[in-house]
Structure formats: C-alpha cells, structure tokens
A = this chain, B = another copy of it.
Amino acid sequence: MTKHMPSKQQVAYHTLKQRILDGTYGPGYRIVIDRVAKELGVSAIPIREAIRRLEAEGFVEVERFSGAKVTRIDARMYEDCLSVLAVLEGYATAQAYRSLTDDDFQALRETNEAMRQARSDFDLTLYSRLNQQFHEIILRRCPNRYLVDEIHAVRERMDAMRVSVFNLIPHRASDSIAEHDKLIQLMAVDIGEEAVERFARQHRLATLEAFRRWNEQHHRMVAERKEWYRASREVHPPGTDS
C-alpha cells in the first residue's frame, strides 16, 4: 500500500511529452493550458506544473503571458545535438563494450540483420526503432548511469525535432548497417577503448555529415523554387488570375 496512483501532474506530463514526441504537437505548436486541462478533466495547475518540467527539459519554450510553444528547431541546433550525442555515445560504447555478454553480441547481430531487412522493405519506422535498439543493447552495459540518462535525454529531444527520420537518407542506411557490423567486430576482438570510442563516434558523425549534405541540397532546392516563383510572378502579377 505504499504506492500511489499517478498524480494528475504526472499524467499531464506524460501525455504532453508523448504528444510532442509522436508529433501530435509539432514544432511551434502552442499548448493552451485551459484546453488541455478541460481535455484531461483537471484544473490548470497540474498542466502548468507539467509544462514547467517540459520547459526545463527543453521540449517547450514558455514566454510570459504568451504561453508554451513546442520548441522549434533549426538545422544548426540539430547538428549541435547530434554532435553531442556522437561524443557521449562514443564514450559510453567504449565504457560498456567489455561488459557485453555473448547473448548481447548475438542480439546485436540479430538486430542488425533485422535492420537490413527493414531497409529492404523501406520500413522507416521499424528501421529507426531497431537502430535505437541496437545502441540500447550496448548502453545497457554502460556502468555510468548518469551518462546513460544524459544520452537518453538528448535522444528524446532529437526525436521531438522530427528530423530524426532522416536518419534514413538513402545510402546512409546501408553504410550505417555496415558500420554496425564493423563495430561488432571491433568490440568482439577487444580492440581497445580508444578505437571503439573513435569508431562509435564517427558512426554518428557520419550521419551528421549526411544530414549536412542533404540539408544543403534541400536549401538549394528551396532557393530554386523561390527563384522560379519570383520569375513567374513577373509574368503573372499577383491578383490577375482570380
């Protein structure tokens, strides 16, 4: 009888966080306290407290008298986060790999095979989840709990950015899977902490590089479209066609 029902504040917190993570509340979405309160059948107080926690975790930005908006993220911030993730996860992998059991190695190989399959099937969601799972298997053996928590926090924030899907830039997926194989091998032959860390970090940074290239191209496309649009306006001035 020592356990409690979850408090309304906790419910509100998990509900809101869930919605941010799954995209129901996309970047920039304004969370209106009263609306959420009515929806959950509680008063505004628990909602407000939940929002404060989300604020501290960086999921929303609160401006006084203006309300809470889901954090909008730009490419720059995304890259910064990904770098930090690369560094932390690289270190964590190095700290953890010597504690991996045979079962762990088996699980890593199986997960990576499943990723290969998911890639063939173009199942982005499954691929993403498996990718997370792969690194989670290693992280579970990391003795530094604080480090692991930090990594999870960074990952969650990046999930909220909804750019993560672009983990799956076409050929990056193949490279990534191959790198997983290599990583497994390096760890299996106990190649040393430094080499493992360097490789694990590089694995993430490669995704970052791929993102950079994709982003640049994306911007060029947008610019071209704007250019095209501007040109077309000179032929058809606004308001002439309706």
Contact = CB atoms under 8 A, between A and B. Distances in A.
Nearest to A78: B146
A80 B147 contact: yes
A35 to B, nearest CB: 19
Contacts of A147: 80, 83-84
A150 interface: yes
A228 interface: no
**Secondary structure at chain A's binding surface: helix, strand, loop or mixed?**
helix
Contacts of A87: 87-88, 91
A191 B86 CA distance: 23
A56 B65 CA distance: 22
Interface residues of A, number: 28
What is the total number of copies of this protein in its complex? 2
A230 interface: no
Contact of A80 (B55, B83, B145): B145
A21 to B, nearest CB: 16
A144 interface: yes
Contacts of A145: 77, 80
Interface of A: 4, 7, 9, 45, 48-50, 52-57, 64-65, 77, 80-81, 83-84, 87-88, 91, 144-147, 150
25 contacts: A4-B64, A4-B65, A7-B64, A45-B48, A48-B49, A49-B49, A49-B52, A52-B53, A52-B56, A53-B53, A53-B55, A54-B56, A55-B56, A80-B146, A80-B147, A83-B146, A83-B147, A84-B88, A84-B144, A84-B146, A84-B147, A87-B87, A87-B88, A88-B88, A150-B150
